[in-house]
Structure 1
Amino acid sequence: MAIRPIVRFPNPLLTRKAETITRFDAALEALAADLLDTMRDAPGVGITAPHIGILERVTVIEFDRESGARTFVNPEVIWCSDEKATHTEGSVSMPGILEEVERPRAVRVRYQTLGGETIDEEADGFMATCLQHEIDQLDGIFWTQRLSRLKRDRAIKKFEKLTREQARG
């Protein structure tokens, strides 16, 4: 469909909660297709509508083209394990910055398909991390908020430096 401009950190849109989707129509399907194209171009493994400036609860996750993209509409975590896992995270809105984040190792999520069907699904490992990361974004929690103050400050300074260097060419 189309590659959309990505909202960059520290844009306040990234800290606003996305609205629940109530219309399951061609416009939603087009949005999901645009999210996929934009994510692949970034590149990334996950993207939400707020990443492109649309405050709606939809996310697309794709580890690789072979396994294909998954679209989650109105996702929410309904259970998470006590056991934790650490994975490297980043954001299409903050390219070039990666940090280790600790989250629950497994989750159960409830979401809707593009057709409106409600599904409960368990995930663990990297998929659990990705779902939590993207659902956080839909809730207005940018991933750096899950870092210690020291790591967060360091990541922000590094991103500001990268942005300045890119602006100079």
Structure 2
Amino acid sequence: MAVMDIITLPDPILRKQSLPVERIDDDLRRLIDDMLETMYKAPGIGLAGIQVGVDRRLFVMDVSREENNPICMINPEIITRSEELNVHEEGCLSIPDYYAEVERPKIVTMKFLDRFGKEQQMELDEVGATCAQHEFDHLNGALFIDYLSKLRRDRVIKKFAKLAKQKEKNIL
């Protein structure tokens, strides 16, 4: 297993729509293992393929405190969303050290393929539901900052664009 580089804002790849996974094989399972290792090391509770430069519809997550309940969702779909909403403070490995409260459905039911290609269905609530929806958004080119006011979102984007320029300047 290998730790992968995580793409950060303002990289435009984060706004790219991910394509369906067409084949589940040992290479994909290695990618999933690498994504899990990367997520745990970061540390985070979720990581989408696009965040490591893989524009395929898959993500990994683990909301257990012990980091012993990894979930991999390949070609996920949200089947149902509860009308009841929850507010959780969200962060993102692609937007380091920035957190904001986001309101999302409290419960979601997801349909997906597991790492062996078997169709699964799972109901998630609370933090699990928030994490799954957050990662699902990545597959569609959306970020949690899209739920913020335009002013707050623009400030975050401006801040990360400035940091990227400074980083680029230091490399050159």
What TM-score results when the alignment is normalised by the length of structure 2?
A: 0.89
Return closer, same or farther for 1:43/1:162 CA change in 2, 3 Å cut-off. Answer: farther
Partner in structure 2 of residue 9 of structure 1: 9
Query: Structure 1: which 5+ runs fail to align?
Result: none
Q: What corresponds to 2:116 in structure 1?
A: 115
1-side partners of 2:126 and 2:132: how far apart? 10
Aligned residues: 168
Distance 2:144 2:157 in 1: 12
Deviations 1:107-131 (A, max 9, x none): 1111110111111211111100000
SS at structure 1 position matched to 2:103? strand
Question: Is 2:84–2:105's contact at 8 Å kept on the other side of the alignment?
Answer: yes
State the distance in 1 between where 2:87 and 2:156 align. 17
TM-superposed CA distance for 1:65, in Å, is: 3.4
RMSD: 1.9
Could you tell me how far apart the structure 2 residues matched to 1:126 and 1:166 are?
A: 33
> 1:129 corresponds to which residue?
130
Structure 2: runs of 5 or more not aligned? none
TM-score between the two structures when normalised by the length of structure 1? 0.91
> Shift of residue 161 of structure 1?
6.2
Distance (whole Å) between structure 2 residues aligned to residue 47 and residue 66 of structure 1: 14
Partner of residue 60, structure 1: 60
Moved >6 Å (runs of 4+) = 164-168
Check conservation: 1:72, 1:111, Cα contact below 8 A: yes
SS at match of 1:121: strand
Q: Tell me how far apart the structure 1 counterparts of residues 135 and 166 of structure 2 sit (CA, whole Å).
A: 28
The range that moved more, 129-138 or 155-164, is 155-164
Percent identity between matched residues is 38
